[in-house]
Structure formats: structure tokens, C-alpha cells
Structure 1
Amino acid sequence: MTFTQQLRETNQDLFEMIFHHPFVEGIGRGDIAKEAVMHYVKADFEYLNAFMKIYAIAMSKSDTRSDIAFFHEQVGFTLHSETGPHMNLCDYIGVSYKELQGHPLPPTADHYVKHMMYHAYTGSLGEIYAALLPCPWTYLEIGKVLMEKYKPQANHPFYRWITFYADSGIEALTETLCKRLDACAEEASEAEKNRMRDAFRKSCQLELCFWEMSLTCETWPAGNIGVTAP
């Protein structure tokens, strides 16, 4: 069993909790509260901005052109392709995408970003892979679970969102990240592998918390006066 297969098995509990979260199941049914969708898009837009910066940090730690090319390609994918699912959600709530950009991160999303930034700045390339991997991996499996359970047709309000994440492109990205993390783990000490395990599990936990944050429209105590988006 590879290192990433072990990670997936160890974190099955969190994957199952994500699959059965009310927000995720609401995507499958097509009936999420519009306020929750709006909150999700606002947070996810800024989260993905941070995700691209972490790819850039990883690029600066790369020793090979292959690694540099991979991270460069993923910045482009996040910047251009992942706007599609956001646009689907914006169409559902009847709000322009531009209106939902530039908002401060809610507490959970802020924590998630800083968790990944910590590993990006202080950790190895393997730690960065481990912190990043749960995002595409959980979304890929969410897409597949929703396709299987709800079998959405083109008239489903979240058809574009579901099919995007169930697509072979997300699967290929997840597989590539797994292979790269497995390669890092082969060269890592047990202490470093433990840091990778911790980074991966915390990212899985924060993926679950991100859905809950969106559903409850989580905000900072006493508001965001004077605070701007990162």
C-alpha cells in the first residue's frame, strides 16, 4: 500500500462526513439556501487565490523543471478553469461573480489558508503536497458520489459543478499529486512523514469545516470592520 493510499484509508472517517454533510447533499439535491451558496463562493474565491500562491511557493522550492512546470500549470488551471463551478453557483443565486470577490475570509477559511501557508513556508515539498492534496481529492470524490447517488441531468441546477469535479481532469490532478507525494514519502524520514500525515489530516478536517462554515454563514465576532481580503 502506498503512502497516499494509507492516508486515504486513515482519513475515511472524514471523507464520509464530508460526503454526508448537508451542504454537499444539498448540491446533490439542488436545494441549498442561497445565502449559504453566496457565503461559500465569497470564501472559496479568496481560498483559491491563496491556493495559487501556495503553488508559487512550492515552485520556488522545486529543484527540477518538471516540478516547476507542474506547479505553473496548476496555477493556470486554478486561475481559469475553476471559475466554471463558481459561475454555476452564481447563476443559481442570481448574483454576479464580481460581486462575490474581494471579501474577507471567514474564520474557518482563514485558518485553512494559514494552515497551508505554514507548511508551505516552513515545511518540505512533501508537506506542501500533503496539505494541498485533500482539496482536489475530496472534491473529486464528492463529484463521483453525487453523480452516482443523484445521477444529475443537464437541467439540474448544479450539473456543471458536479460534472466538473467528477471529471477525469480532476482525477488526473489528484493522481499526479498522489504520485508526487508518494515519491517524497519514499525519501522522507519518519518524522517528516508524520508531519505529512498531520498536514493531510488537518486539511481534511478543514475541508469538512469549510462546508459547515458555508452552511452556517460563519462570520468573525464583532464583524470585519477595517478588514480587507488577503
Structure 2
Amino acid sequence: MNHQDLIKACQSEWHDYTQHPFVEQLANGELAPAAYLHYLKQDFLFLIHYARAYALGVYKAQNLEQMRRVLPSLHALLDTEIAHHVSYCEQWGLTEADMQAESEDFGTVAYTRYVLDTGLAGDICELFVALAPCSIGYAQIGAERLNSADTVLEGNAFRSWVEMYGSEEFQDGVATGAEFLDQLLADIELDSPRGQRLCEIFRTATRMEVAFWQQGLDAA
């Protein structure tokens, strides 16, 4: 099996995630600023736990090759992505201290602890299946929105978000991660108990992504 099999196994949830009203309103510039600010603050908190999950991936690695595959992603999160997020949020009047002091919303707690719990209880494959909806979904959303005729870029306060996740650099990074995930999945049969367990992990993490978008809208 591969990551496309995981997506096909939860088409309804995947649609709700990648076509969520939060994303649609962001792409056409109609998203309420309060919803976006809430999302930015919660996403900062999410990224901290996301980095913890990648650190767990190093621990869960079965050999040195897997450790070497995981470590660059952890470095990228700590050295680049979180710093970029902080820098970007400053443009919206949010400092790192502001975001550190923010309380985690229910959806943030549910999602991040689910990923970490899955990784702690399972193996490296289960961990990366739980992590996958975030990166793969954002890549799909970014590419679709950047190339959609319905997307408004001119005068859109959220234009840089669309362009960042639709960028070639981000797409290439996600493709590399998906390739690693496919290697972990390669010897697993989709219809086996193991395969179905992985589909359920992916489905649950995708549901958590839907909830993450929704909590942003609910904050407006």
C-alpha cells in the first residue's frame, strides 16, 4: 500500500479537510481576521508538538538509515519552519511570547496528543501515518488553491499563505516525506488487519485536521 491508499480510504473526511470553509474563505480573502489570528496562534503551538513527534520518530527508527531520513525534517521544523512562522506572525502583530502564552484550544490538544499517543504506542510507521495528513493535506490545499480560478490573490491579506503552501519548495519537501512514508507502507497489504489499522489512524488524524480548521472559524 501507499499514502494514496490512505487518502482513498477516507475520501469523505479528506474532502471535508481539503475543501473546508476555512480554506475556501482564506483563498478568496473573505476569512475573518479573528479566525486567522486564532489559527496562527494555535498553529504555533501545534508546530511545537509536531517537532516533538518528529523527535519521537528518531527514537522509533528501526535503523540508522531511518534516523537519517527523519532528522532533516526535525531540523527543518526547529531551525526554519517555526522561525518562519514566528516571523510571519509578527506581521500580524503576534510575538513569539504572545503565542507561547496562548492556551491550547481543545482541537489543538486533541490532535497533537493523538499523534504523540499513536507514536508512543505504535511503531515508526504508525507515527508517520498519523503525521501524514498535515503535510500531504497542506500540499494539496496549497497547490489546488494557488491554481484555482476561484482563488483571489490580488488584495488578499492571506495571499502569502496560499503562495507558501503552493510553492515548489514546499511541494518538493512534502513529496520527499511522502516517499519515505511509502517505503514504510510498501510491504503492508491494504486489506490486512495492519493495513486497516493504518487507514483508521490516517482517518482519525484527518478528522483532527477538520476540527483544527473549524476551531479557527468558531473563534471569529
TM-score by length of 1: 0.83
Name the structure 1 match of 2:108: 109
Counterpart position of 1:170? 170
Where do 1:1-230 residues align within 5 Å?
A: 2-79=1-78, 80-84=80-84, 87-88=87-88, 90-91=90-91, 93-149=92-148, 150=151, 152-153=153-154, 156-188=156-188, 190-217=192-219
Q: Secondary structure at the match of 2:7?
A: helix
Contact (CA 8 Å) 2:18, 2:141: kept in 1 or not?
yes
After TM superposition, give the deviation of residue 176 of structure 1 in Å. Answer: 2.7
Aligned partners of 2:45 and 2:99 also within 8 Å: no
* Residues 89 and 95, structure 2, Cα contact 8 Å, conserved in 1: no
Question: Contact between 2:3 and 2:181, CA under 8 Å: does it hold in 1?
Answer: yes
Matched positions, count: 215
TM-superposed deviation, 1:88: 3.8
Structure 1 runs not aligned, ≥5 long: 219-230
Secondary structure in structure 2 of the residue aligned to 1:187: coil
Q: Distance in 2 between matches of 1:51 and 1:141?
A: 19
Q: RMSD of the alignment, in Å?
A: 2.2
Could you tell me how far 1:188 is from its partner in structure 2?
4.1
Give the secondary structure class of the aligned counterpart of 1:134. Answer: helix
Q: Secondary structure at the match of 1:67?
A: helix
Q: How far off is 1:115 after superposition?
A: 0.8
Cα distance in 2 for partners of 1:158, 1:83 equals 19
Aligned residue type for 1:210: F
Moved over 6 A (4+): none
Higher mean C-alpha displacement, 205-214 vs 63-72:
63-72
Shift of 1:13: 2.2
Larger relative contact order (C-alpha < 8 A, sep ≥ 6)? 2
Q: Relative to 1, partners in 2 of residues 1:135 and 1:88: Cα closer, same or farther, differing over 3 Å?
A: same
State the secondary structure of the residue aligned to 1:215. helix
User: Equivalents in 1 of 2:20, 2:4: separation in Å?
Assistant: 23
Contact 1:41/1:86 (<8 A) preserved: no
Aligned sequence identity (%): 21
